[in-house]
Amino acid sequence: MRPDFLPFSRPSISEADIDAVNAVLRSGWITTGSKAAEFEKNFSSYVGCPDAVAVSSATAAMHLLLQAMGIGPGDEVITPSMTWVSTINLIILRGAVPVFVDIDKDTLMVSAEAIKERITERTRLIIPVHFAGAAVDLTPIRRIAKQNNIFVVEDAAHAVGTGYKGARIGKTGTSIFSFHPIKNITTGEGGMFCSDNPDLLKRIRRLKFHGLDVDGYDGDTPGRPLHAEVTEPGYKYNMPDILAALGIMQLRRIEEFNRKRTELAMRYRGQLASVPEIVPLADPAYPITHSWHLFIVRLDTDKTGLDRDALMERLKERNVGTGLHFRAVHLQKYYRETMPEYPGKLPHTEWNSQRICSLPLFPDMKIEDVDNVVEALKAVLSRGKGKK
């Protein structure tokens, strides 16, 4: 057993990252300003979109998008239930109806065919999720959305650096990224709204800062012009320079981070080939560049007496941390009680919700750590045989 605890994720923060944050702290201007503007510029040029808006979280960006679109009572929003709870909570909080579609059993992503079946005259928005660092199959989803005049916003929280058919996620369409500490780059907390629609970008920029018709920062002098005024009621979701400075530094290392993640993921795949009870996700059939945000496996409960929760407990006893991405939203207390029509109706989502587990994966991990995790898995599985 390894002597120290291996967390399932840990941000990679360098001395240079710390220096960059310290410089902002010492500068006299610590909230949204030139660093946030620079981070937006660098991020949009990285993904290839015309512009981007830095915000306090991906959840905040999604809230702004729902506000900008006026999503409310009577509207339906199509989303997987295999996603982070924030999306569904926001839809409910706006008085709209989340419409869940099932996912592919082995990629955990929605398909255009599944979405098509749930489109009604009330459908206003589709929120596909790029899962674990892979890309959802966008072309057919965009096609049916366009045919039905429905907007698509991609949940790209897992997809910094992910590619789809030769272009980075975020380059076209509208997408939302997260910089929460477990994501591929971090600002502590933070998010980025990317779009190729200049009117929408302008609207989001305004809504993220009280609805003032200026940015939080005026290029010449920090602070707002004297006559900034509210043009529509907005929120307070701007990203401070303290965090943006970290984002700028992290973004410089994204390719290095993702290369390391890929190397670790390939080692997992190789080592797990000899562990039949543990089934990794499959690669999509279309061309993608994987950013390996998560290494998700499913426990084949038919081949072992263990269930997933017990597996996670036993691994923890062996100093190996794990994550769960995600417990299906429709199976959680509030949603079981308010949307009782769903349990039992999303078979692939539910099958995975009971069996998935995210193994440790972060850029500062070592190849030997992967081998340790696989050894721990084998030990737990062999002791678990025949036991509940």
Ligand X SMILES: *Cc1c(COP(=O)(O)O)cnc(C)c1O
User: Interface with ligand X by CB under 6 A: which residues?
Assistant: 57-59, 83-84, 86, 129, 155, 157-158, 178, 180, 191
Least distance (Å) from ligand X to the CB of residue 365?
19
By beta-carbon proximity to ligand X, the closer residue of 49 and 176 is: 176
Decide: helix, strand or coil at residue 96.
coil
CB-based contacts of 151: which residues, under 8 Å, 6+ apart? 69, 124, 125, 126, 145, 174
Q: Could you give phi then psi for residue 72, rounded to 5 degrees?
A: -160, -160
Q: From the candidates 35, 171, 183, 260, give the one annotated as an active-site residue.
A: 183
Least distance (Å) from ligand X to the CB of residue 259?
21
Decide: helix, strand or coil at residue 124.
strand
Rounded-to-integer distance, Cα 78 and Cα 271, Å = 37
By beta-carbon proximity to ligand X, the closer residue of 176 and 381 is: 176
By beta-carbon proximity to ligand X, the closer residue of 180 and 261 is: 180
Q: Could you give phi then psi for residue 53, rounded to 5 degrees?
A: -120, 120
CB-based contacts of 230: which residues, under 8 Å, 6+ apart? 210, 211, 212, 213
**Inter-axis angle of helices 85-93 and 58-69, to 10 degrees?**
30
Least distance (Å) from ligand X to the CB of residue 93?
14
Residue from 296, 267, 281 nearest 371 by CA: 267
DSSP E strand boundaries for 229-387: 278-280, 288-289, 295-299, 356-359
CB-based contacts of 196: which residues, under 8 Å, 6+ apart? 49, 50, 171, 172, 173, 174
Mark whether 183 is an active-site residue: yes
Which amino acid, residue 122? R
Least distance (Å) from ligand X to the CB of residue 62?
7
By beta-carbon proximity to ligand X, the closer residue of 157 and 315 is: 157
Least distance (Å) from ligand X to the CB of residue 120?
24
Please tell me the total number of residues recorded for the chain in this structure. 388
Query: What sign results for the dihedral spanned by CA atoms 324, 325, 331, 332?
Result: positive
Least distance (Å) from ligand X to the CB of residue 198?
24
Give the residue numbers annotated as catalytic, written as ranges. Answer: 183
